Chains A and B, each alone.
Chain A
Amino acid sequence: MIVELGHFALILALCMATAQAFFGLAGAQMRHTQWMSAVRPAVAGQFVLVALSFACLVYAFEQNDFSVLYVASTSNSELPAIYRFTAVWGAHEGSMLLWMLVHVTWSMAVAAFSKQLPHGLISRVLGVMGLLSVGYALFILLTSNPFERLIPAAADGRDLNPLLQDPAFLIHPPMLYLGYVGMAVPFAFAIAALLEGKLDSAWARWVRPWTNVAWMFLTIGITLGSWWAYYELGWGGWWFWDPSENAPFMPWLVSTALIHSLAVTEKRGLFKSWTLLLAIFPFSLSLLGTFIVRSGLLTSVHSFASDPKRGLFILGFLAICVAGALLLYAWRAPHFRSDAGFAGASRESFILINNALLIVAAAIVLIGTMFPFFIDAFDLPKVSVGEPWFDAMILLPAVPLLVLLAIGMRASWKHADLSKQRLSLTVGITVGVALAILLPAALYGYSSVLTSVGIACGAWIAISALWDPISRWRNGHTVSVAVLGMSIAHLGVAMFVLGVAVTKSYSDDRDITLAPGESAKVGIYDVRFVKIGDAPGPNYDAVEGEVIVEQDGKHIATLHPQKRFYRVQRNVLTEAGILAGWHRHISVSMGESLGGSGAWSMRLMYRPLLRFVWLGAMFMAFGGFVAALDRRYRKVTVRADEPLATSTAPVN
């Protein structure tokens, strides 16, 4: 009964979404005030209905209702309660309902925090969000209904994939979806601006906090995915250029470009058409990413059960969104002209280059990811594009981007006098080069030119990022929230680059056999296998090894890697024993038992500075969030049209 209630609520939500779309778009087009005032209630109603629908599905899981097909294929009575909750988004149908819930939450937030926006604009924005809701609801109801019944009911469920039975599954998908789906907000704002035929710096000021927050969630989601893959899959990798990793990475790259482009549009009223065009793509790439992962074209941990109907629907939806948006852009973009100019060396030109390089990076990832699909579509022999290709190609835009970042982030608007930066540049480059020499010489040993460049860039960017806040603070000036956010985010980039350079150059992996009592070396550490014993769990049986990590005879840590056998799905999972630390990670995974002597095959992994990779990314996310908190975004009294800012105002 509850299940049918959930289903019905979703159908009602579809109707509500249709109303929202109609009132929003038609109301704004025909300046029908009453229609426009019906939009916010429609958003609220849709939110309540979808939340109710989701709650009903959660209820079915908590009650172990195996007469629901989705519950029976994703859950199990022995599954711990917390994982019964996360199993709601453990497969395609439920995760689409989560997607929709996240979408209406964003719509709700936009409706609530937009009192100062002109009615026409906000109605159009919410109208577009409504159209997207309609698409999602149709998709779920027509091809991916989680409420379908299974008659007769199953005796018990097929259990959640053991790889997903982990606390990280509680946050990674929601965070990722908040980012993916959140990109619909700048998309909606862009469409609204195109429909209105009006774009000013006020528009940019309204869109920026939304874009920043969505970008923050996307950053967190990707970082969590990487971290989780590292400790869950147990084989030491944290980025595989897998299509399912590239899927959120492409919108991330483009939305990073968008964040910077919006800064120019807000500050100087420039790049208007470019920003509009750019705002269409993060969301489009999100849809493409969803298509890749759910269409059955993919062979990966992330591929959902395939059904060509679903793939076709998403593809059609994607085509409509992109084609519609681009047509609208082609029709309306000539309206938006900027008159101001900027010098060859100025913050604007640096951001322009930043955008170009980020787009190139996104294109590289797109080509590498889609190439195998195209080849397959033409029935040519199947190929795959390996990690080395991506690793090599991404350096092309990445290295110039990092070098120019250190200089560009402190450049002035309109005309940058680089001689003013002489001190900071000297200090930055000196520290960078010094560290690039010191780290290999004193700690890790020489690896390659690329490693040194990476270390140098990381240090230089850090110096640059901290220069302004520190010097302003020392002079007793206040640091604006926006500048603080920018500095934190760029500092995050520095940490990320440093982490990647060191961990990729100086990691050590060993596949070895160890009998109890034996030890092996990895990096500068000795790993000794002590013993093995049983360690049963709620829905699995496991053997657990005891492994001691020592350095020069001194005891560093005791690790407990496990080999689990999940009873329902009858498959094996490796839980790595991980020693995490600020300056290095050590990971031990058990392979298999090798017979009589009690020996086991094991993989030992040493990863220096790995934590900085994720910490840097989290700093980026945090910085983006802080920047969105700036007071100018929350000013209530704002005129709809404001004169363009054209002065050489102090860097802000």
Chain B
Amino acid sequence: MTTRQRRMVFVALIVLCGGGAAAFGLRAFQENMMYFVTPSDMLSNPDTNNKSFRLGGMVKEGTVKRAEGSLDVKFTVTDMKHDLPVTYTGVLPDLFREGQGVIARGRFVDGAFRAEEVLAKHDENYMPPEVAKRIAAEHGGTMPTAKP
């Protein structure tokens, strides 16, 4: 086989593998890509096919309730327009706090959001940019100040 022919074989192999990888990747994308939603999004489109979402918003003041002596916790996530109750079983991250931004990964089940993972932020003044942008957009472009 000449060098040129060998090169063509290599190129063909690469295209084939690349195509295969791309197809596999796209399929994996579909299954693993998670959309970011706010409570308003979730409530206006409740049909979710049991898919995983990332719910973002603020933890509403006075709504964090832990069952005594158990790992079950309920809290409400709000985007200042709509509230969505969230249930979670497990240890909450350190910076999880009422009045702060939060992102919960989970599914919408029976009218409530069942979180599988809760991510709070690493700085007490931090609000995830996605959350801030959406809340600001729903309030005419400016962020409402958080209650003390």
**Residues of A354-375 contacting chain B, CB below 8 A:** 356, 360, 364, 367, 371
Mask: chain A, 79-95; 1 = CB below 8 Å from B; 0 = not = 00000000000000000
> Which of A397, A574, A594, A601 is within 8 Å of B94, CB to CB?
A574
B32 touches A511 (CB 8 A): no
> What B residues does A352 contact at CB under 8 A?
10
Interface of B: prevailing SS: mixed
- With an 8 A cutoff between CB atoms, is A602 at the interface? yes
- With an 8 A cutoff between CB atoms, is A328 at the interface? no
**Residues of B25-74 contacting chain A, CB below 8 A:** 25, 28-29, 31-37, 52, 54, 66, 68-71
A592 touches B3 (CB 8 A): no
B124 touches A383 (CB 8 A): no
Known contacts A382-B36, A383-B36, A511-B89, A389 near B29 by CB under 8 Å: yes
B34 touches A596 (CB 8 A): no
Q: How many A-B residue pairs have CB under 8 A?
A: 102
- With an 8 A cutoff between CB atoms, is B122 at the interface? yes
B91 touches A592 (CB 8 A): yes
- With an 8 A cutoff between CB atoms, is A480 at the interface? no
Residue of A nearest to B17 (CB): A360
- With an 8 A cutoff between CB atoms, is A589 at the interface? yes
| A94 CB to nearest B CB, Å | 17
Mask: chain A, 318-355; 1 = CB below 8 Å from B; 0 = not = 00000000000000000000000100100000001000
Binds B, one of A54-62, A419-427, A564-572: A564-572
Measured in the bound complex, the distance between the Cα atoms of B54 and A110 in whole Å is: 48
> What B residues does A574 contact at CB under 8 A?
94
Measured in the bound complex, the distance between the Cα atoms of B56 and A384 in whole Å is: 12
- With an 8 A cutoff between CB atoms, is B85 at the interface? no
| B99 CB to nearest A CB, Å | 13
Measured in the bound complex, the distance between the Cα atoms of B72 and A592 in whole Å is: 12
> Which of B36, B52, B68, B95 is within 8 Å of A594, CB to CB?
B68
A385 touches B128 (CB 8 A): no
> What A residues does B10 contact at CB under 8 A?
352
> What A residues does B25 contact at CB under 8 A?
364, 367, 393
- With an 8 A cutoff between CB atoms, is A377 at the interface? no
Known contacts A356-B14, A385-B29, A570 near B124 by CB under 8 Å: yes
B21 touches A360 (CB 8 A): yes
Known contacts A384-B36, A396-B21, A161 near B91 by CB under 8 Å: no
Known contacts A386-B33, A511-B71, A513-B69, A301 near B94 by CB under 8 Å: no
A388 touches B89 (CB 8 A): no
Measured in the bound complex, the distance between the Cα atoms of B88 and A600 in whole Å is: 16
Mask: chain B, 103-123; 1 = CB below 8 Å from A; 0 = not = 000000000000000000111
Measured in the bound complex, the distance between the Cα atoms of B90 and A367 in whole Å is: 32
B35 touches A572 (CB 8 A): no
- With an 8 A cutoff between CB atoms, is A516 at the interface? no
- With an 8 A cutoff between CB atoms, is B130 at the interface? yes
Residue of B nearest to A569 (CB): B124
> What B residues does A512 contact at CB under 8 A?
71
Chain A CB within 10 Å — which of B17, B28, B70, B130 has the most? Answer: B28
Residue of B nearest to A395 (CB): B24
Complex A-B: 29 CB contacts under 8 Å: A296-B129, A297-B129, A299-B121, A299-B129, A306-B129, A360-B21, A381-B36, A382-B35, A382-B36, A383-B36, A385-B29, A389-B28, A389-B32, A393-B21, A393-B28, A396-B24, A511-B71, A511-B91, A569-B123, A569-B124, A571-B94, A589-B91, A591-B71, A592-B91, A594-B68, A594-B70, A599-B69, A601-B91, A603-B91
